Structure formats: C-alpha cells, structure tokens
Amino acid sequence: MSSNHHLPASIKEQLDRVDSTGEYSGALPKITSTSKRTYYVKAGTLRDAEQWAGEAESLKEMERASPGIAPKLYSFGNLSSGNPYFISEYKVMGHLNSSVAVVLAKRLATELHQFESAHGFGFQVPTYCGPTRFANGWFDGWSKCYAAMYGTLIQRLRETGRHERLCSKGDKIIQRCGFDPHSIIPILLGKMSIQPVLLHGDLWNGNVGVDQTTGEPVIFDPASFYGHSESDLAIARIFGGFPQSFYDTYFKNHPKSEPQAEYPVRAELYESFHYLNHTVIFGVSAPTNSGCKSRDKVVPGKLRSAGGKEDGHGH
C-alpha cells in the first residue's frame, strides 16, 4: 500500500498529524492508512469553511455527550491556501433497523438529550440545516432562541420574493414573541421548564444508520444546537423511517415535557419549522415522498388555535 502521490501534499500533511504511518491508499473522501484505519477526508473551498466548522463543532459536542454515537472528528481547520479541510472517522453504514432504532432512542434519551449547556440555548458557531444557515449565538430562553431560528427561515423565504402568504403565517408566530401574551411561541413554550440540551438538529432517516462493524447506531451530518429535546424528533416524524418502538423507547426514558397534554401542539410547531426549511431549500412547502407524513398547512390548525387568532378572526 502506498500511492501517496494521489493525495494533495497539504492533505497528507494533516493526515500525518492524525496517523503516523505516513502511507495511505484510496481516494477522497475515503482514505485508508497502513495502520488499517479508514478516514473520511474532504478538502473544500472558502465557501465551505463556515458550514464545515459548524459540522466539526457539532461532532465534537456529540462525542462529549454520547461517545461513539457519531463519527469521531480527528481534525478540522484551514490549509495553507486558506481552504478548509475535514478529517473524521469513516464508518461503513447500513440502514437503520427496528432493533437498533430502539438502542438509538435510548441513547438519545439518556445521553445526548441529557447533555446540558452552561451557556443557555443556541450554539457557539453558525450551523447549517441542509444549506440553510443559522447564525445561532446564545439566548437566555428557549422561546427567544426558537423565535430567532424560525425568523431566519421566514427571512430566507421573504428574500425569494415568493411565498408571501406563507411568510405572513410565519410572522404570526414570530412578530408577537415576547410582546403579546396571545402569541403562539410564548403560550406553548414560555411557561415551560425547559433545559438546553444538545440536539442533532437534522435527525431524519437519511442522517441515521447502523455501523456495520459494531452493529451500533450512528447519527451524522449534524446541525447541532442546545434546545428543547422534543424538537429533535420533529423531522423524523415528517419523513418517517423510524418504527413506533423508537418513540416508545425514547419517551419511556425521557418523558414528554409538561404539560404533556400540549405535546401534540408543540409537535406541530416543531414540525412546521422543518416544513418551512423544506420550502426554503426546494421551493415547495412539503416533502413529496409518498412515505412522508402528510400535512395541509405549514402553520397547522392547532397552532393557529394556540395563538388565539389568525387574520383577525377568532377560533
């Protein structure tokens, strides 16, 4: 095994700092060394730097919270050219099955979603859910943090010059936060006792798998932040692919927040966030896969009822 010539010298230099063997084979992004370790390696452009930094920080936080639940980050930074590089553990993965889904649910409930921030809600660097950038920063309350993230989506939609009706619905959730006692987010979230715990941030079935070597669950491509644990399950419900035993196990180990009677309405609020992001990314307001959860509106009826009014008409 040799053929180091296939690697850019700057990438080999970074690999040598991680693995002292100095001999590698394969092609980006899968590189194997003579030590039998396999790495996921990517080299990008300046436009990738911020997004990769968010992914790197997310992986580091998840390793602290729940060791092994995500690929381990070995190195991230800038090459001499100023362009970013990224080196992490390479995992051969299969599709999530029902038995491993139960293991994942318990690890999320008892490890990742128990790992609290000392700084409040949010995250230390910007992260990207798909191509959508969230500035993050720190907030002293979940309502403020979530309203800021929701507002990012509304702003991105408004910049397209389309979806004005959808933006107006989103405004009814965002503009009144903290000012009007009848606004949706404070009614649902403001009265709750919510701890800022580490979230994956984009936990759909395409970002989950089974390590073919260990048989353990793996989650990847995170867009992490510290927030309400329930919100991390929203996109999983939308796209499906998780058995009912996943949710049963999760809530057995991490009960729904009080008041539990309002959980269905909170779930719709958290799902609407991802429907909005889907519109930002693809220009349509809902996933079109037949396996996806069906829905009629980005701001569902239960949410409008929770807010008290829509378009000046009482419910």
Tens digits of per-residue pLDDT, 74-117? 999 999 899 999 999 999 999 999 999 999 999 999 999 999 99
In the chain, the N- to C-terminal Cα span, in Å, equals 71
Q: Considering the candidates 19, 202, 221, 232, report the single residue annotated as catalytic.
A: 202
Q: Is the pLDDT of residue 295 over 60?
A: no
Q: What are the backbone angles phi and psi of residue 88, rounded to the nearest 5°?
A: -140, 175
Q: What is the largest CA-CA distance in the chain?
A: 72
Integer Cα distance of 256 and 231 in angstroms: 11
Calculate the average pLDDT of the chain. 87
Q: What is the pTM of this model?
A: 0.89
According to the model, what pLDDT value does residue 135 have? Answer: 96
- For residue 7, the model assigns a pLDDT of 84
Report the alpha-carbon distance of residue 53 to residue 127 in Å, rounded: 8
User: How sure is the predictor about 4, in pLDDT bands with cuts at 50, 70 and 90?
Assistant: low
- For residues 56-64, give the mean pLDDT: 99
DSSP 8-state symbol, 189: I
* Residue 2: pLDDT over 80: no
Question: What is the rounded average pLDDT of the residues 284-300?
Answer: 48
Helix-helix angle 244-253:98-110, to 10 degrees = 20
Report residue 303's pLDDT band, with 50, 70 and 90 as the boundaries: low
CATH superfamily of 94-314: Aminoglycoside phosphotransferase (APH), C-terminal lobe (3.90.1200.10)
Instruction: Tell me the range of 135-149, 174-188, 272-286 where mean pLDDT is highest.
Output: 135-149
Q: Where residue 6 falls among pLDDT bands split at 50, 70, 90?
A: confident
pLDDT confidence tier of residue 302, bands split at 50, 70 and 90: low
- The pLDDT-based confidence of 3 (bands split at 50, 70, 90) is low
- For residue 222, how many other CB atoms are within 10 A of its CB? 26
Give the pLDDT of residue 289.
45
The full set of domain ranges for the chain reads 4-92, 94-314
Asked whether the domain spanning 94-314 has the same topology as the one spanning 4-92, the reply is: no
CATH match of 4-92 with 3.30.200.20: yes
| Catalytic site includes residue 180 | no
Judged by average pLDDT, the poorest of 89-103, 118-132, 211-225, 280-294 is: 280-294
Distance CA 218, CA 208 (A): 6
Is 50 exceeded by the pLDDT of residue 164? Answer: yes
Do residues 201 and 127 touch, judged by C-beta distance below 8 A?
yes
Q: Which residue has the higher pLDDT, 304 or 123?
A: 123
> What pLDDT was estimated at residue 307?
46
Mean pLDDT of 20-25: 85
Mean of pLDDT values over 199-222: 98
Q: Is 256 helix (H, G, I), strand (E, B) or coil?
A: coil
At 286 the pLDDT is 55
pLDDT digits (tens, 9 = 90+) for 106-162: 999 999 999 999 999 999 999 999 999 999 999 999 988 998 999 899 899 888 888
So what's the pLDDT on residue 179?
A: 43
